[in-house]
A = this chain, B = another copy of it.
Amino acid sequence: MQIFSLDQASAIVDAALAHARAQDCHPMTVAVLDAGGHLLALKREDNSGILRPQIAQAKAWGALGMGHGGRTLAERAAIAPAFYAALTDISGGRIAPVPGGVLVRNAQGDVIGAVGISGDHPDKDEACAIHGIGSVGLHADVN
Contacts and interface: CB of A to CB of B under 8 A. Distances in A.
A36 interface: yes
Contacts of A90: 51, 54-55, 58, 88, 93-94, 96
A10 B40 CA distance: 14
- Taking the full assembly, how many copies of this chain does it contain? 4
Interface of A: 1-3, 5-6, 9-10, 34-47, 49-51, 53-55, 58, 64-67, 74, 77-78, 80-98, 108, 110, 112
24 contacts: A1-B110, A1-B112, A2-B46, A34-B36, A35-B36, A38-B50, A38-B53, A40-B43, A41-B42, A41-B44, A49-B67, A51-B95, A54-B90, A55-B90, A58-B90, A77-B82, A77-B83, A78-B82, A80-B98, A82-B84, A83-B98, A86-B88, A86-B96, A92-B93
